[in-house]
Chains A and B, each alone.
Chain A
Amino acid sequence: MSAALQLDSPHIESSSSVTEYATKRVRRNTRENLRLVAPLRVSKASRGLFVIVLTSILGVGLFGMLLINTTLAQGAFTVSELRWTHTQLIRTEATLTETVAALTGPTVLEASARELGMVPSPTPAFIKIPSGKVLGKARPAPGVRIAKPVELTAAGLAQLPSSANLPVAFDESVDSATPDLQGVTGEWSDPRLVNTPDQAKGLTLDAIAVE
């Protein structure tokens, strides 16, 4: 206002005009009468809430940190445990690998086979299936029978590939000319091969050859 007064002052000549001007100004800016108003509702709870919010943020943060740390520590423990299990499993694997490798080796296999009374086939011979033609000279395996022979059944035969050569060694006295094995049902019944346990003597079946 004083600035306005100063600005205006060059144009104001007399003191009365100054008063007049001031009065006018005051009148123009007349405020409303002061009156009592109801006190503002300052909520006491609001500060409490603020504290709770802050505390809970802090709490959640701390708890979260704790949780993460615990989880990580737990993870570290799990890793340790799993590593230990891993080591154990490696050990077991080592043992088993070694055992299996040794047991499947031909040296052990031959010894086990001989224990069962098996002997190496002296000359290879094959049965052609289904014609039953014998390829090669089948001869009885040398040695003495000590175990009961396994009976060949048609069910077992059915599992063979349809066209297969069956290495076999059997008694030379048996006619080795083309036995007819087609249409065999039920028990294996070719008398020239396996019928009675006695005739099964010396029969060694060790592989199936697919042509």
Chain B
Amino acid sequence: MSPSRSDRNFSDYGTAPIKLGNTRRRGTALILVSSLIFMIFAGRLVDLQAIKGSELASAALDQRLRTVFLPAKRGSILDSNGAPLAITVAAKNVTADQTMIAEPGVVAQALSPILGADADILASRLTGERRSIFLAKEVTPQTWEKISALRLPGIFSEDTSRRIYPSGELAANVIGFVGAEGTGLGGYEFAFDERLRGTPGKATFERGPGGRAIPTGASVRVDAQAGVDVELTIDRDIQYVAQKAISEAVESAGAKDGSVVVMDPQSGQILALATAPTFDPNFATQTAERDRNNRPLTSIFEPGSTSKVMTLAAVINEEAATPYTPIKVPEVLRRGDTDFKDSTPNGTLRLTLNGVLAKSSNVGTILAAERIGGKKLSKYLKKFGIGQPTGLKFPGESHGSVPEHEDWSPTSFPTISFGQGLSVNSVQVASVYSTIANDGLRVEPSLVKRFIHADGTSEQPTAPQTTRVVSRDTAIQMRVMLESVVGEGGTATNAKIPGYRVGGKTGTAQVIDARLGGYSDEVVASFVGMAPADNPRLVVGVFISEPQNGRYGGELAAPVFKKVSSYALGALQIPPTGSKAPKLALTFGG
């Protein structure tokens, strides 16, 4: 084995010597190379396992892991009996992969009748190189099933949800509407968006080649938290009747718009809040923006004669007069630099305080108000909630204003006493009558009955504030006076509901025209009333803005009051009290 021996052996044959490699060197080289390779491998191994190990392992897991977002179901908006006003249902978006569609025309023809879309428009959306394009959004699951049954290549769907308003326009002004992304854009959909929306969850799992979850694989699931249901105080049926009645009245009067407020005076709950014209929240974006307003809260106007109730209640509460107090009412009363008159000149009248209200005498009201003075009147107006937020926290609410007493001009006091020169919204006026109806105790109006959480527990909204505005005696006297308005010789005989004692007040208030810088010829015709007058369970306010056919609250608003109240009394099962209305004198002898 020694090199010398091998040299000798081969050279002995006499042939050309074969050059042989040095075996030892080779061996060494081989070992070196092997070691080197081994070291590279080992190094790589260490690199992969130890240095990049965790990083790579997580990258590998990422390839298998899939995260799916679990959308939270938006809470419903319900009426006071739990009937749905706004609900969310499953829906499908239909998408197309343009590159997979060979004949857009044919596909469009097939889809057109199902989607109810124009075939040409569909064909244009199906032509091109885009991998994903929307053909239709939020179609019903059935519609998608019909499309799916056609087995058209390149047509896909994705899960989504759809907000529907099953009764269309019903209470749309209160509910509001949602935008394309399903977020609330108006009304309570907007105000309670965060509560309604809920919290989306997510599911992460390892999936096999088929896309199915690997049973033993890692998985994390955080369930979506469904949104909170909002139960309103609105009664769907009363709302419907109110909405229908005001729509008809606005139309027949050729008015700009109108509102109805129905309240339970004892609880302050608003049972209906209707306006016309309104909108269908299912197609909110296609409607005029002004019709999407909740006018009973967002529109302010000068209340006019309906405001006299506050003035006279203040006078009686301050014991400055009783319903029987005689007031000699001249045809013209000069205050400051202005002559004040009644709407119909009748010469000098000899009215009782009761008669002043029943005949809606401006001059009589001024004379009565002067018995307590402006400062006290101002205080009462505030206590009745005028110029104050309603507490409904409705988006876009405008709570009107009443000038501070210090800022009153010589004409302010007489003007404000009969309801001009201050602004209110419809709910505030209804709340004034609710206060009288509820024996002088004002209960802050409310529209939300409760919140119902996904787990079924219910949460009460903060209890409405109660304020004593006038004494019980004052309230009772005011109610008897309000009955005179509806009674013989009053301004609102159209509001009578056979069998019931009804009290209320008409209003025909002039509208300020910003361009003229003064009062225009337009009016807000209103009637606010209560039934049964001796034990009021219902207050209904009707406001018709800028009527063209007809002008007075008694002729336009009172019939709407009658229609809505008649229905509501039956629906709420409020029987007549059976008592007789006392007859209070409107005039005094002479």
Contact = CB atoms under 8 A, between A and B. Distances in A.
Interface string B561-579: 0000011011101111010
A206 B239 CA distance: 18
A106 B236 contact: yes
B91 A135 contact: no
Interface in A4-25: none
Contact of B573 (A73, A98, A104, A165): A165
Interface in B81-124: 83-84, 87, 89-91
Contacts of B384: none
A136 B84 contact: no
A145 B164 CA distance: 37
Interface stretch (A31-39, A42-50, A89-97): A89-97
A80 interface: yes
A146 B168 CA distance: 30
A106 B213 CA distance: 47
B498 interface: yes
A107 B168 contact: yes
B164 A101 contact: yes
Interface string B493-507: 000011110000000
Contacts of B212: 76-77, 79-80
A72 interface: yes
Contact of B576 (A76, A106, A135): A135
A3 B487 CA distance: 142
Contacts of A125: 499
Nearest to B142: A95
A167 B573 contact: yes
Contacts of B213: 76, 79
A105 B167 contact: yes
A122 interface: yes
Contacts of A90: 90, 141
A94 B91 contact: yes
Contact of A94 (B89, B240, B500): B89
B170 interface: yes
Q: What bracket does the count of chain A residues touching chain B fall in?
A: 35 or more
Interface in B197-242: 212-216, 236-237, 239-241
B499 A110 contact: no
Nearest to A74: B215
B349 to A, nearest CB: 33
Interface residues of B, number: 40
B412 interface: no
A21 to B, nearest CB: 58
B166 interface: yes
A123 interface: yes
Interface string B38-62: 0000000000000000000000000
Interface in B145-175: 145, 159, 164, 166-168, 170
Contact of B499 (A80, A92, A94, A135): A135
Contacts of A165: 573, 575
B154 to A, nearest CB: 22
A137 B575 CA distance: 11
A105 B499 CA distance: 30
A102 B164 CA distance: 10
Interface in A122-149: 122-126, 135-137, 139
Contacts of A102: 166-167
A101 B87 contact: yes
A145 B441 CA distance: 47
Contact of A135 (B90, B236, B578): B578
A126 B575 contact: yes
A110 to B, nearest CB: 7
B497 A123 contact: yes
A72 B214 CA distance: 9
A122 B575 CA distance: 15
A124 B167 CA distance: 25
Given A91-B141, A94-B140, A101-B166, A207 B570 contact: yes
A75 B216 CA distance: 11
A136 B571 CA distance: 14
Nearest to B141: A91
B498 A136 contact: yes
Interface string A150-163: 00000000000000
Contacts of B239: 106
B170 A136 contact: no
A101 B571 CA distance: 20
Nearest to B562: A123
A119 interface: no
A77 to B, nearest CB: 8
A72 B213 CA distance: 11
Interface in B529-578: 566-567, 569-571, 573-576, 578
A128 to B, nearest CB: 8
Given A72-B215, A95-B141, A135-B499, A207 B170 contact: no
A107 B170 contact: yes
A210 interface: yes
B575 A106 contact: no
Contacts of A94: 89-91, 140-141
Contacts of B578: 135
A209 B498 CA distance: 19
Contacts of A72: 215-216
A95 B164 CA distance: 11
Interface of A: 72-73, 75-77, 79-80, 87, 90-95, 97-98, 101-102, 104-107, 110, 120-126, 135-137, 139, 165, 167, 206-207, 209-211
Interface of B: 83-84, 87, 89-91, 140-142, 145, 159, 164, 166-168, 170, 212-216, 236-237, 239-241, 497-500, 566-567, 569-571, 573-576, 578
22 contacts: A77-B212, A91-B142, A94-B89, A94-B141, A97-B84, A97-B89, A98-B164, A101-B166, A104-B83, A106-B236, A107-B170, A121-B570, A123-B498, A123-B566, A136-B499, A136-B500, A136-B576, A139-B498, A165-B573, A167-B573, A207-B570, A209-B575
Lowest 10 CB-CB distances: which A-B pairs, in order? A101-B166, A91-B141, A209-B573, A124-B570, A136-B499, A106-B240, A94-B89, A137-B498, A105-B167, A137-B499
